Structure 1
Amino acid sequence: MADKKSDTGPTIEELQAQIEALQKALDEARAAASPASEDFAANAEAVAERMQEGLQDLQKQIDAHPVPSALFAFGIGFLIGRLIAR
């Protein structure tokens, strides 16, 4: 009769080596992503600050010139209404 080959699959040592390699790769990916996420957070914070400053400047302009601001807002609203009505 033919001899049967015993194929038991990977050994425990091989599996542990693969797990360690995967953990190392995951740690490297986390280390690479960390600076990118910090840059994104810093950029998002800078954009939020600039938007806040822009809104404050707009509020100052509206307070300084209320009638022209109201007329401008009315005109923009009228144009948007005409565009939507079509």
Structure 2
Amino acid sequence: MVTKSTDGSDIADQVKAIQAELASLTETIRKFGSEHASAGADALHNAAGRASETFRASAEEARRRGYQAAEDIEGHITKNPVPAVLIAAGIGLFIGALIGRR
């Protein structure tokens, strides 16, 4: 069996080389994590922006439909005031009866 003799400087050099490789690997992992975290943050920011725009569009559509419904009801009341008053009175009596039972 052949043995190779190593002195202390050879081992020290190997330890320094391992330390340098570990430092390089650590830096590579840090950069990789930073890049992916940045990409994830950008994707989250973009998704939040799209959700915000969708919410605004939905709210605007609901507001528009609400105004349209109010205008339609107002038109029906204007065309038929007596039935509208009778319906409103009936609804009022119904609600009053429900509340009065408690």
Say yes or no: TM over 0.5: yes
- Return the alpha-carbon distance in structure 2 between the equivalents of residues 64 and 58 of structure 1: 10
Q: Which has the larger radius of gyration?
A: 2
TM-score (ref. length: structure 1) = 0.71
**Aligned length in residues:** 76
- Return the alpha-carbon distance in structure 1 between the equivalents of residues 99 and 77 of structure 2: 26
Q: Identity of paired residues, percent? A: 37
In structure 1, list runs of 5 or more residues that go unmatched: 1-13
Aligned to 1:70, which of 73, 85, 99?
85
TM superposition shift of 1:78? 0.2
Task: Output the aligned Cα RMSD.
Answer: 2.2
TM-score (ref. length: structure 2) = 0.61
Q: Name the counterpart of 2:44.
A: 29
2:99 maps to a residue whose letter is I
Aligned to 1:49, which of 35, 39, 64?
64
CA-to-partner distance for each residue in 1:19-49, whole Å, 9 max, x for gaps?
Answer: 7765543322111111111111111111110
- Return the alpha-carbon distance in structure 1 between the equivalents of residues 82 and 93 of structure 2: 16
- Return the alpha-carbon distance in structure 2 between the equivalents of residues 45 and 51 of structure 1: 10
Q: Which runs of 4+ in 1 moved over 2 A?
A: 14-28
